Amino acid sequence: MPVRRVVTGVDANGRSMVTSDGVSPGHFDLMTSEFDVMWLSESSPPNLRGTLDPADVNTYAMKPPPGGIKWVVIRIPPETISDGVDRTSAEYAERMSVFDTGGVFEPGGEGWHTTQTLDFATVVSGEIDLELDSETTTLKAGDCVVQRGTRHRWVNRSGEMCVISGIVIAA
């Protein structure tokens, strides 16, 4: 289910206003998880007055472009649901065709990946296990993570959907 996103801007008279109110245009349902690109900036500092919607993307990229920043909301179902997805099906292949991994996932690595990014993530609802090489940490709603380019994976061993909101900064 796409996330509602409200975007502000200024009118011709310089007054603040809502420029967009609706579902995020960058919604990707990959069957094993869902991603909503809430905002994307290809540079820092970002442009505050552009008229194009940078979240209106046709491909979900794991990392923003060099110097870029991305805000994403991710929904990860329980492992029992994602493990039941037929990863050999045509539907799965079609959905994954819009997912640019950037080569960060390990082959056959069951979700293990390393990105050259600084990520600020907050668990909005549910719970999730953050697995690292040396340990696993269970995170619950309200918990925050600063992910600094380390090898990791996310596993939802609970019985409910986990929602994570994160800012991803190219490093």
Domain spans of the chain, in order of start: 25-170
Counting residues of the chain whose pLDDT is more than 70, the rounded percentage is 99
- pLDDT tens-digit profile of 103-151? 899 988 689 999 999 999 999 999 999 999 999 999 999 999 999 999 9
Instruction: Tell me what the pLDDT averaged over the chain comes to.
Output: 94
Model pTM score:
0.93
Distance CA 3, CA 24 (A): 6
- pLDDT value of residue 52: 86
- pLDDT value of residue 21: 97
Residue 9: is its pLDDT beyond 90? yes
- pLDDT value of residue 63: 87
Kind plus residue range of the DSSP H or E element containing 95: helix 90-96
CB of 67 within 8 A of CB of 44? yes
Mean pLDDT of 30-56: 90
Dihedral sign from CA coordinates of 46, 52, 56, 58:
negative
CATH classification number, 25-170, choose in 1.10.357.10, 3.40.1080.10, 2.60.120.10, 1.10.150.120: 2.60.120.10
- pLDDT value of residue 46: 86
